[in-house]
Structure 1
Amino acid sequence: MDVVTGRSPISVDYGDYSFPVAQCAPCPVGTFKPGTGDDFELCQPCPEYTTVSSSDRRSCTCFRLAGGDSFDASIFALYFDKATLSCGLVPKSLVASIGDGADSNDSVYTRPEQFPCERGYFCSGGVRSPCPAGYYGDASLETRSTCAGVCSSGFYCPLASRNSTARVCGDANVFCPSGSAVPIPVWPGYYSVRLLPFGADSLLVSDVGFESYSVSSSGEQAPKNEDIRDGQRICEPGSFCVDGKKHLCPAGRYGDKSSETSSLCAGLCTRGYYCPKGSTSPTQRECGADGLICRTGSPEPQLIQVGYYSIGITNTTRFFQRPCEPGYFCIDGIKYQCPAGTFGATSGLSTAACSGLCAPGYFCPSYPSPPSISRTQNECGNSSVYCPEGTGNEPNSVTSGYYSVLTSGMAVDGRNATQNDAKICPKGFYCRQGIRIRCPEGTYGDVEGLSAASCSGWCPAGYFCPFATTDYRLNPCLPGTYATKGAAVCMTSPSSSQSRASVIKTFQVLPQEQVMKPPCTTHRECCLFGKITARKQQYLD
């Protein structure tokens, strides 16, 4: 018990804020308490059958001797000995000097002197009281019930605190606004902050408690400020709060609501998007390009593998990759058909060269047709077309005057289906639809690249032109033979027994220019008349 106030503060930590000062209660009837103190156990029982409690419970009053012995009440008086807890007899003349055995128990009514009110207390009407919880008294002789003022923010002040920073608030999971009697737990889904204006870091100095405390000015949630937080704030979207501390939602996750307490936040980021730390939406950021993919819960875009292409809703929200199928090649996540003239025999190709060029005698089409997957995708066709190595969508048509050939070393099967080159038609031949044909009998071909069946023209009279003749001048008719225009062979001259009339008849039909040209090997009649002259012509006429 406080000898000044007559009150008894309950001994607790900072629960004294809830029970600041308890009123004293008398010991139960039949007990007494000879000394000061707050514990109920200090109340001792008065001896039964001989005593009763005094009215102030500071002693026991005797009403008989033990055993019921009699005594002369005119001479003796009963006295309670607190040392032996028994009743005895004393002369009545000494009762006044001995008292009632409770003289040593001071009371508020028997004060012999006064003292100055100490720091942490205020005194009013001669009674000393502790400064209330949440307040502090930093000077003696205080008379105000609020003492010097409220406790500083970030600190709390129990009863009888002597400075504004009596006790540090403690940790990030509690906060102490100005005037705190006890730390206040941070609510779930909230985090504590230091709201003291930056730069206000000069605190009161005292010889008791925390005289000075440096306040960091690097931010409301600076780690150095965790034990002197003075406010709380709701956890914003994109973060979660545990034990008064705010943490950003992990990369790959998002938080779209306030007061989040789970480290999983609201959930995983949507595929096709990625979520850096502190994201507030499942579609925080688009993955970016064809060469990047973002699976569900992606913290950042992932580069696509070489030879793979990406799949997604749009070009910027790709979420899956697949290996390039045969016939295709993939660059930066985009799938392309192997170019015309090439083929893709395997999956996972990553260059436009694919698996190589199409084989000679074959063609390998691509867009708008499906891509080619074999080196011998399609046979070239027939003799009218040819396909060199790397032929694309269509075979090459053989130009008129040229013919197709097979030069790739492949076996000739007679079908002309895999020709791979074209050559100019040689002399003595004409070429149509890629086929080389000999110039017919009676004609000749003295130049390359002929395409008509007449080649260079008819063989002149006096010459013979068999198949594939290149130069008629190398084939003159010998004496005694003759050949007309377009002849394939020279004819033998007729016998002399032929009638003159029949010779004259034949001669008359000859053109004039042939009649006048020596030597005469162009008509059968030349065999009878030799060189035709104007005089002989008159004779024949």
Structure 2
Amino acid sequence: MGTEHPCAKGTFGLRPGLAHESSCVPCSPSMHCASAGLSIPTGPCHPGYYCTGSAFSPTPVKHLVEFDNATFTGNDVCPIGHYCPEGSKHPWPCPQGSYSHTMGLASEGQCQRCPHGYYCNQLGLTDLSQAQLCDPGYVCHAGSTVPRPSDGIQGYVCPRGFRCPAGIIREIACKAGTYNAFPGAGICLPCPAGTVCGNSSAVEPTVCPKGYYCSSRTTFPLPCPEGTCNALNGAASAAVCLSCPAGLYCQGMANSEPDGPCVGGYYCQGGASSPTPQSNLAFPMNGPCAAGYYCPTGTKSPIACPKGTFKNITGGDSLEFCTPCYPGYYCANKGLSQPSGLRFAGFYCPGNHSSVNPNAFSCPRGYFCSEGSGSPIPCPAGK
């Protein structure tokens, strides 16, 4: 009888009567043959390892592995980016939406999920640097496989009133003064001039109200100053705050229309903030009606006292405040604050007569009239 020789480790004999060592079969893929002389493999390779054939250890390391192991020849510990369940013939790549930088993973569940804000759309990723940022306008949940998820599971579209820069893990509310009217935005837009965005998360700007103006990015409407008014919605600058018209006043701020007419005896030239206004640099005539004039309620311009009269005080709301020229005086022009002068000698002016000339009434015979005479004086007897 000849000598028996056992099949070597990493092989086994399928049947009796083998004549040569070459008749021994390499250990099956996924299995290991731990000892010599086996008729069947010892068992499957352990989790975290792969066996492509001829393995003699359940936990092989670089056994029969070729230098370029892109196709995973030989038997080895499960490489990064992959997992190897028990009895693996080859490594399984971590699925899309995950990655692994650790060797020896035994199950798909040990692959790490792509983090929030990123997506992993390739198999077998080995490092977080291979993941890519989620697109602007979208929020990627952990494990996302697409840059623009919209199913609510992998992620969602950025909602209106918010912005989502690339890689954001949660939407950011638009600040006051900005807005976003559409879903899927990466930035918020500045609130345009003539509108206001007073709250965060604004979806649409609000039109600036009457009595106010709103520059770009306005969070609160700015009131028109006192003495002005603005009757228009959507004002973009203070230039639309117009001076209160003559004869009217605009009290306080944020007027959309005048409050009413100025009080009689006062003149509102423009920009009045009170029914009894005071003079200012822009409108020096604001104030009590000037001497020589009277001002009815809400007048747009002072009315001059007529010829033959004068008015030496301020204020006055009617013609009754214009006084007839004094006896012996004449009032030649409109708007006089005092008589024009004394009546000429040889002439007189009776009382309560609105005289406009210095020589209106000639002194009669038998009388004499000195300068400023209000009535003729009889000549002395014998003269």
Shorter-normalised TM-score: what interval? 0.5 to 0.7
TM-superposed CA distance for 1:301, in Å, is: 0.6
TM-superposed CA distance for 1:527, in Å, is: 2.9
* Residue 16 of structure 2 is aligned to residue 108 of structure 1: yes
TM-superposed CA distance for 1:309, in Å, is: 1.7
* Residue 61 of structure 2 is aligned to residue 182 of structure 1: no
* Residue 236 of structure 2 is aligned to residue 350 of structure 1: yes
SS in 2 for 1:421: coil
Name the structure 2 match of 1:236: 115
Q: 1:303 aligns with which of 172, 190, 194?
A: 190
Q: Is the 8 A contact 2:12 2:25 kept in 1?
A: no
Task: Flag the 1:397–1:137 CA change in 2: closer, same or farther, 3 A.
Answer: same
Describe how 1:481-496 pairs up with structure 2 within 5 A: 481-483=367-369, 488-490=374-376, 493=378
Name the structure 1 match of 2:168: 279
* Residue 199 of structure 2 is aligned to residue 312 of structure 1: yes
Task: Flag the 1:147–1:456 CA change in 2: closer, same or farther, 3 A.
Answer: closer
Task: Flag the 1:470–1:155 CA change in 2: closer, same or farther, 3 A.
Answer: same
TM-superposed CA distance for 1:464, in Å, is: 2.0
Task: Flag the 1:195–1:235 CA change in 2: closer, same or farther, 3 A.
Answer: same
* Residue 293 of structure 2 is aligned to residue 403 of structure 1: yes
TM-superposed CA distance for 1:371, in Å, is: 1.0
AA aligned opposite 1:149 = H
Describe how 1:57-76 pairs up with structure 2 within 5 A: none
Task: Flag the 1:137–1:362 CA change in 2: closer, same or farther, 3 A.
Answer: same
Task: Flag the 1:22–1:330 CA change in 2: closer, same or farther, 3 A.
Answer: farther
AA aligned opposite 2:381 = L
TM-superposed CA distance for 1:447, in Å, is: 8.6
- Give the Cα separation in 1 of the matches to 2:211 and 2:273: 14
AA aligned opposite 1:442 = P
Task: Flag the 1:347–1:445 CA change in 2: closer, same or farther, 3 A.
Answer: same
Describe how 1:316-327 pairs up with structure 2 within 5 A: 320-327=204-211
Task: Flag the 1:331–1:110 CA change in 2: closer, same or farther, 3 A.
Answer: closer
Task: Flag the 1:180–1:397 CA change in 2: closer, same or farther, 3 A.
Answer: same
* Residue 349 of structure 2 is aligned to residue 465 of structure 1: yes
- Give the Cα separation in 2 of the matches to 1:270 and 1:344: 36
AA aligned opposite 2:191 = I
Q: 2:267 aligns with which of 386, 391, 402?
A: 386
Residues 362-400 of structure 1: per-residue CA shift (max 9 Å, x gap): 4251643x5134xx7633442x22344x54423532443
- Give the Cα separation in 1 of the matches to 2:307 and 2:158: 78
Name the structure 2 match of 1:442: 327
- Give the Cα separation in 2 of the matches to 1:191 and 1:468: 108
SS in 2 for 1:134: strand
Describe how 1:198-213 pairs up with structure 2 within 5 A: none
- Give the Cα separation in 2 of the matches to 1:156 and 1:463: 136
Residues 89-133 of structure 1: per-residue CA shift (max 9 Å, x gap): xxxxxxxxxxxxxxxxxx53351x444999999997577999977
AA aligned opposite 2:293 = Y
Structure-2-length-normalised TM-score: 0.58
SS in 2 for 1:237: coil
* Residue 255 of structure 2 is aligned to residue 371 of structure 1: yes
Task: Flag the 1:354–1:421 CA change in 2: closer, same or farther, 3 A.
Answer: same
Residues 142-168 of structure 1: per-residue CA shift (max 9 Å, x gap): 9999585286998574xxx45989x99
Q: Is the 8 A contact 1:401 1:424 kept in 2?
A: no
* Residue 30 of structure 2 is aligned to residue 149 of structure 1: no
The alignment yields a C-alpha RMSD, in angstroms, of 5.6
- Give the Cα separation in 2 of the matches to 1:304 and 1:344: 21
Highest Rg: 1 or 2? Answer: 1
Unaligned runs of 5+ in 1: 7-19, 25-106, 197-230, 406-415, 494-525, 531-541
Task: Flag the 1:110–1:372 CA change in 2: closer, same or farther, 3 A.
Answer: closer
Q: Is the 8 A contact 1:123 1:129 kept in 2?
A: no
- Considering fraction of residues, name the structure with more helix: 1
* Residue 50 of structure 2 is aligned to residue 134 of structure 1: yes
* Residue 191 of structure 2 is aligned to residue 191 of structure 1: no
- Give the Cα separation in 1 of the matches to 2:69 and 2:133: 24
- Give the Cα separation in 2 of the matches to 1:250 and 1:272: 18
The structure with higher relative contact order (CA 8 Å, sep 6+) is 2
Task: Flag the 1:268–1:385 CA change in 2: closer, same or farther, 3 A.
Answer: farther
- Give the Cα separation in 2 of the matches to 1:345 and 1:473: 57
Name the structure 1 match of 2:310: 430
Alignment length, in residue pairs?
Answer: 328
- Give the Cα separation in 1 of the matches to 2:324 and 2:13: 141
Residues 206-233 of structure 1: per-residue CA shift (max 9 Å, x gap): xxxxxxxxxxxxxxxxxxxxxxxxx943
AA aligned opposite 2:112 = R
TM-superposed CA distance for 1:442, in Å, is: 0.8
TM-superposed CA distance for 1:312, in Å, is: 0.8
Q: Is the 8 A contact 1:239 1:248 kept in 2?
A: yes
TM-superposed CA distance for 1:300, in Å, is: 1.7
- Give the Cα separation in 1 of the matches to 2:120 and 2:209: 49
Q: Is the 8 A contact 1:442 1:488 kept in 2?
A: yes
Q: Is the 8 A contact 1:439 1:445 kept in 2?
A: no
Task: Flag the 1:147–1:305 CA change in 2: closer, same or farther, 3 A.
Answer: closer
Task: Flag the 1:117–1:194 CA change in 2: closer, same or farther, 3 A.
Answer: farther
Unaligned runs of 5+ in 2: 1-5, 104-109, 126-130, 276-285
Q: Is the 8 A contact 2:13 2:38 kept in 1?
A: no
Task: Flag the 1:119–1:398 CA change in 2: closer, same or farther, 3 A.
Answer: same
